[in-house]
Amino acid sequence: MQVIEVGIGPVAPEELVVVAREGAAVRLSDDAEAAIEQSRKLVEALADDVEPHYGISTGFGALATRHIAPELRAQLQRSLVLSHAAGSGPEVEREVVRALMMLRLSTLATGRTGVRLETARAYAALISAGITPVVREYGSLGCSGDLAPLAHCALALLGEGEVRDADDTLLPAAQALADAGIEPVVLAEKEGLALINGTDGMLGMLVLAAHDLHRLLTTADIAAAMSVEALLGSDAVFAADLQALRPHPGQAASAANLKALLEGSLIMASHRDGTCTRVQDAYSLRCAPQVHGAVRDTLAHAETVAGRELASAVDNPVITLDGRVESNGNFHGAPVGYVLDFLAIAVADAASISERRTDRFLDVSRSNGLPPFLADDPGVDSGHMIAQYTQAAIVSELKRLAAPASVDSIPSSAMQEDHVSMGWSAARKLRRAIDGLTRVIAVEVLTAARAIDLRAPLQPAAATGAVVRALREAGVAGPGTDRYLAPEIERAVALVASGEILAAAQSVTGPLS
């Protein structure tokens, strides 16, 4: 099993993905353990201070005015976790829970939270054993971070609540810990707060989304290239000198991909004989690099924010480098919430232009010689008519998901937390949006491949032809009479999601941007 070392520096996005999705184990580095022990000494020195210290000798939130007697402080931390584990609704995906736990461990490893070393080690052991606490869909306002989701994870560390083991079996946390040889933790001063106060859920979902979008956006270029080719469009507009007149990096990368994918297409060459009277293609074809590129640049901005957040130690109060214990507002999820919402907007538009390209194939007045709806016997057969309906339904849903969550603050905690980020909600809807984009791109690939086959005996570009072959080898048949279409759509979705469509194209072009 792969083991990821968690140190005082930021966790790398690719390491987070490996832990979240591939079940990698984790361990604390020597420097992280030293930092944790050093900061814990500061917390313990303040435990008996007559001056109140938030989270150490006081209550929380609106109850921070109460001084807590030393004999009640262990109960205080336990009560915090129990009361905040108040989520409701369906279970959150395993990969999301593992991502947020990995990020919480990364913050503990900075030595800025004041937890004991044995508590941080136990948290790492929970991840390594594949024990996934049951976290519910609803409960986080994104400020003070993702309290309820993180509290459910901390609850499991105490041997309370429900978890799923490495085999995905639902069982009591106490049993799972015993089976894994992990002793339940009895929390000391500051530890309950340190385990639940962070933006780890929304950040974990942002990192996972960015990882998926890199593959999806390149696959969107592949789908667009197939559509341009099969609709007898032109690749002249994708020339590098034209793109350089508007120097957005994402646009240049997308246009370069389209040129590489369409190289050598005999389908496109067939209408360059002087008989074609079209001066320029429709926007959904001609402007694909501009739209796909804008999505890429939005992703780049989101990854910049994610990188800063990965380098952060989000807790309140925090142990500063010079040894102070200070309250702060770094748990507020606004920076992450904004880019999650921004990505949802960009994803919706990428899906929208994909659906418009698909629709052109089905309209005999716009498809440049293809049969209506790409049907074998139009009127008897409906071809891909309803596949486009499926796309349209998803795109409509994505437009609703593009409505920002981060502007919808709602006050809580007796007006102490009077402005919240809703970053968790933004992340949840982005996950649904990315699933929708995957399906929309898959339908475009499926439809464009059928149209390319209908252009026979003209041959497509080598790269787009490789994608068509990948579909056919996966059991998606070529043109013919109507058949049960849903399984073919799902096969195409699986090929897009797994990266097999991308791999097929890159087997010809080499790495695409």
Catalytically active residues, by annotation = 54
List beta partners, residue 306: none
8-state DSSP, 235: S
- DSSP track, 88-155: EEEEPPHHHHHHHHHHHHHHHHTT-S---HHHHHHHHHHHHTT-EE--EEE---SSSSSHHHHHHHHH
List beta partners, residue 378: 381
How far apart CA 440 and CA 459 sit, in angstroms, is 25
* Structure tokens belonging to residue 406: 């981060």
- DSSP track, 35-93: HHHHHHHHHHHHTT-SS--TTTTB--GGGTTSBPPGGGHHHHHHHHHHHH---EEEEPP
Q: Which residues contact 164 (CB under 8 A, 6 or more apart)?
A: 94, 131, 132, 134, 170, 171
Alpha carbon separation from 133 to 78, 116, 123, 349 (Å, rounded): 17, 21, 11, 35
| 136-138/162-164 β-pairing | unpaired
Do the beta carbons of residue 76 and residue 68 sit within 8 Å? Answer: yes
Tracing tokens 């829970």 back to the chain, one arrives at: 97
List beta partners, residue 170: 164
How far apart CA 236 and CA 258 sit, in angstroms, is 10
Alpha carbon separation from 131 to 3, 84, 172, 185, 473 (Å, rounded): 16, 20, 11, 15, 38
How far apart CA 460 and CA 252 sit, in angstroms, is 23
Give the torsion sign (CA, 20, 25, 27, 29).
negative
Do the beta carbons of residue 354 and residue 220 sit within 8 Å? Answer: yes
Q: Which residues contact 181 (CB under 8 A, 6 or more apart)?
A: none
Element at 300 (helix H, strand E): helix 288-310
* Structure tokens belonging to residue 340: 């999650």
Q: Which residues contact 91 (CB under 8 A, 6 or more apart)?
A: 134, 135, 136, 137
